[in-house]
Amino acid sequence: MYPEMQIEAFLARLASSDPEPGGGAAAALVAATGAALVSMVASLTIGKEKYAAVQAEMKQAQDRAQALVADLAGAIDRDAESFRKVVDAYRLPRGTDEEKASRKQAVAKALRDATVEPARVVRLCQEIATWSRVAMEKGNVQAVTDAAIAAVLADAAAQSAALNVKINLGPIGDPSFTEPLWADLQGIMDRIRTVRDEVLAGTYEKLG
């Protein structure tokens, strides 16, 4: 649905008071844009004699980056869908005690489910960051800033998706679920930030 939408229509709907798409969909779009830039650098390196030594690695980067673009474009929809389910669960009737209990259970399940997609986006961003370093170090130097922008976007998308996990953790409550998940995501975000900083430093060095 959203991947088939025109960019300006998507932006207009994001800007509106419609509950979705929201920040989670935006995070997936930004991550997809970062992955597309990794593919672009690889595509501009493949077939160039100057880069003969890295052709296999660049083909691998291109394949994986294009798979990430497709996956993350799908994540825009999946995130919006899981958010709709949270909204639906909150709208369940709460007249009787039975309804209240049933609604509470439905909300808890919908909130847990809504952490799955953004948590996945955070993990995929680590992969984008790793490939952006390969692209920066070994790819066509004329596109080195595109590799760096991929790293910057992977970091921003991970931070954004993590915020969308975090907002659900409070209402979920259950620390046996929320604490290990959040600790895991924080570790991944730290690693992405380190890679981003290294890719930026390497890029500015190449630019002189």
Q: Which is nearer to a second copy, 48 or 96 (CB)?
A: 48
Task: Say if residues 86 and 107 touch (Cβ distance below 8 Å).
Answer: yes
Token pair recorded at residue 57: 């690695």
Q: Which is nearer to a second copy, 37 or 119 (CB)?
A: 37
Q: Does 5 engage in binding with a second copy (CB under 8 A)?
A: yes
d(CA 56, CA 59): 5
d(CA 132, CA 61): 9
d(CA 191, CA 197): 10
Q: Taking the alpha carbons of 30, 187, 195, 197 in that order, is the dihedral positive or negative?
A: positive
Q: Which is nearer to a second copy, 3 or 92 (CB)?
A: 3
Residue whose C-alpha is closest to residue 57's, from 130, 148, 165: 130
Residue whose C-alpha is closest to residue 155's, from 125, 132, 182, 127: 125
Q: Does 22 engage in binding with a second copy (CB under 8 A)?
A: yes
Interface residue with a second copy among 75, 121, 156, 189 (CB under 8 A) is 156
Give the distance from CA 145 to its chain's centroid.
20
Size of the site for a second copy (CB under 8 A): 58
Which of positions 79-98 make contact with a second copy (CB under 8 A)? none
Residue whose C-alpha is closest to residue 61's, from 2, 140, 164: 140
Q: Does 145 engage in binding with a second copy (CB under 8 A)?
A: yes
Which of positions 46-75 make contact with a second copy (CB under 8 A)? 46, 65-66, 69, 73
Interface residue with a second copy among 123, 166, 191, 193 (CB under 8 A) is 166
Q: Does 32 engage in binding with a second copy (CB under 8 A)?
A: yes
Can you give the binding site for a second copy, defined by CB under 8 A?
2-8, 10-12, 14-17, 22-23, 26-27, 29-30, 32-37, 39-40, 43-44, 46, 65-66, 69, 73, 76, 143-146, 148-149, 152-153, 155-156, 159-160, 163-164, 166-167, 170, 200, 203-204, 207-208
